[in-house]
């Protein structure tokens, strides 16, 4: 059934995050009967988020791939007040149960398993739109509209009201925490996130608290928080990039290497993971292991050595 309340959306437009042109065409055709348009398909989540912040799109569609996993994209969207409040549809590859449960609690996405068909897409899309037209989620979207139009005070007030609603409290709290952090009110943001976790434990709020501590240069708190979350939420892979970053900030390179090996075993962003792991192994003097991570590719390994040598030379020049 087509939506009878088009006025609830300032613009019925979506943006797709994918490197597949076929997906763009398929989604465009399926959305057309609901008077929704697909404005663009981009391979970069950061560019898609920028389009949402500029008011070009009010819905994000994410294609889950090996090198560009949806769980990583959702993690990125949690770091922006506007995209936190924006509805999202995911087309998922086969995922582990723990990762799928984590994805469900990162925002409020509609999740479809591949392959994509109209019989899967249409009811999921329709239900997501109806959900975000209910009073709680409509208010959440309105807060996002205020924020992207530089009306921070109005957006903040609406988010405070959304925080009182059980359905949207976690998303409103995550957005509020970003605004408070940007105003350098770290303690207020921390208190709000911890209160939210006591009411509703979800990965999205844990990651928001992790990001708050990271921005406040508290990597040890990040590390302890995420290790606890890993036990609570059955060890989802989305925690490991932050664990790795916290370990590096604490100077625990061996722990960072351990986390990267786990990401590699889970085939999480393999190209980026392998490249970073090789660099850390090389920095620890484990040249044979680093070359093995790069599949014994002499050319790539030589580039790694050259870049390392240049970095060392730059340090010496600066010291002089």
CATH code, domain with 122 = 3.40.50.2300
In angstroms, the CA 206 to CA 39 distance is 33
Domain span at 177: 135-199
Bigger pLDDT: 33 or 317?
33
In angstroms, the CA 171 to CA 142 distance is 13
Q: Are residues 243 and 192 in the same domain?
A: no
Q: Of 218-222, 285-289, 294-298, which gets the smallest average pLDDT?
A: 294-298
What is the average per-residue pLDDT within 313-320?
38
**What's the pTM value of the predicted model, to 2 decimals?**
0.87
Q: What are phi and psi of 108, to 5 degrees?
A: -140, 60
Task: Show Cβ contacts of residue 10 under 8 Å, excluding neighbours closer than 6 positions.
Answer: 55, 58, 145
19: confidence class by pLDDT, cuts 50, 70, 90: confident
DSSP letters along the chain, please?
---S-GGGSS--EEEEE-S-HHHHHHHHHHHHTTT-EEEEEES-HHHHHHHHHTTS-SEEEEE--SSS-HHHHHHHHTTSHHHHTS-EEEEE----HHHHHHHHTSS--EEEESSP-HHHHHHHHHHHHHHTTSHHHHHHHHHHHHHHTT-HHHHHHHHHHHTTSTTTHHHHHHHHHHHHHHTT-HHHHHHHHHHHHHH---HHHHHHHHHHHHHTT-HHHHHHHHHHHHHHTT--GGGHHHHHHHHHHTT-HHHHHHHHHHHHHTTSSHHHHHHHHHHHHHHTT-HHHHHHHTTT-HHHHHHHHHHHHHHHHHHHHHH-
For the segment 198-225, what is each residue's pLDDT rounded down to a tens digit? 988 899 999 999 999 999 999 999 999 9
CA angle 102, 106, 110 (to 5 degrees): 95
For the segment 45-95, what is each residue's pLDDT rounded down to a tens digit? 999 999 999 999 999 999 999 889 999 999 999 999 999 999 999 999 887
Q: Are residues 173 and 123 in the same domain?
A: no
Q: Are residues 78 and 175 in the same domain?
A: no
Quick one: pLDDT at residue 5? 42
Number of structural domains the chain divides into: 3
Quick one: pLDDT at residue 299? 65
Q: Are residues 166 and 228 in the same domain?
A: no
If we measure between CA atoms, which residue out of 117, 114, 98 comes closest to residue 106? 98
Q: Average per-residue pLDDT in the chain?
A: 89
Q: Are residues 250 and 313 in the same domain?
A: yes
Quick one: pLDDT at residue 313? 43
Q: Are residues 50 and 116 in the same domain?
A: yes
Q: Are residues 139 and 112 in the same domain?
A: no
What is the average per-residue pLDDT within 253-258?
97
Quick one: pLDDT at residue 241? 95
Q: Are residues 236 and 305 in the same domain?
A: yes
Share of the chain above pLDDT 90, in %: 72
Bigger pLDDT: 105 or 74?
74
Q: Are residues 87 and 154 in the same domain?
A: no
CATH of the domain at 303: 1.25.40
Where residue 35 falls (left for φ over 0; alpha for ψ -120 to 50; beta otherwise) is left
Quick one: pLDDT at residue 99? 86
- Give 38: exposed, middle or buried? Use CB within 10 Å, 0-12, 13-18, 19+: buried
6: confidence class by pLDDT, cuts 50, 70, 90: very low
């Amino acid at each position: 059934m087509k939506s009878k309340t088009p006025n609830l959306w300032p613009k019925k437009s979506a943006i797709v995050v994918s490197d597949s042109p076929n997906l763009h065409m398929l989604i465009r055709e399926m959305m057309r009967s609901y008077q929704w348009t697909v404005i663009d398909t981009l391979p970069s989540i950061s560019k898609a988020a920028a389009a949402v912040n500029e008011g070009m799109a009010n819905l994000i569609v994410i294609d889950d791939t090996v090198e560009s996993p949806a769980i990583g994209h959702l993690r990125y969207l949690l770091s922006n007040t506007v995209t936190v409040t924006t509805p999202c549809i995911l087309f998922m590859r086969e995922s582990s149960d723990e990762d799928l449960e984590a994805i469900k609690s990162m925002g409020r996405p509609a999740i479809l398993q591949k392959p994509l068909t109209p019989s899967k897409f249409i009811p999921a899309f329709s239900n997501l739109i109806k959900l975000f037209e209910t009073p709680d989620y409509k208010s959440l979207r309105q807060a996002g509209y205020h924020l992207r139009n530089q009306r921070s005070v109005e957006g903040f007030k609406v988010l405070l009201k959304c925080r009182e609603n059980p359905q949207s409290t976690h998303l409103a709290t995550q957005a509020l925490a970003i605004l408070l952090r940007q105003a350098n009110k770290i303690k207020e943001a921390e208190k709000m996130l911890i209160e939210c976790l006591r009411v509703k434990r979800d990965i999205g709020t844990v990651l928001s608290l992790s990001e708050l501590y990271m921005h406040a240069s508290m990597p040890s708190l990040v590390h302890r928080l995420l290790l606890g979350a890993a036990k609570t939420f059955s060890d989802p892979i989305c925690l490991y990039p932050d664990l790795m970053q916290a370990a590096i900030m604490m100077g625990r390179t061996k722990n960072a290497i351990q986390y990267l090996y786990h990401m590699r075993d889970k085939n999480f962003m393999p190209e980026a993971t392998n490249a970073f792991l090789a660099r850390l192994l090389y920095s620890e003097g484990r040249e044979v292991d680093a070359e093995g991570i790069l599949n014994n590719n002499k050319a790539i390994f030589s580039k790694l050595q050259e870049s390392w040598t240049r970095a060392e030379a730059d340090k010496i020049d600066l010291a002089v």
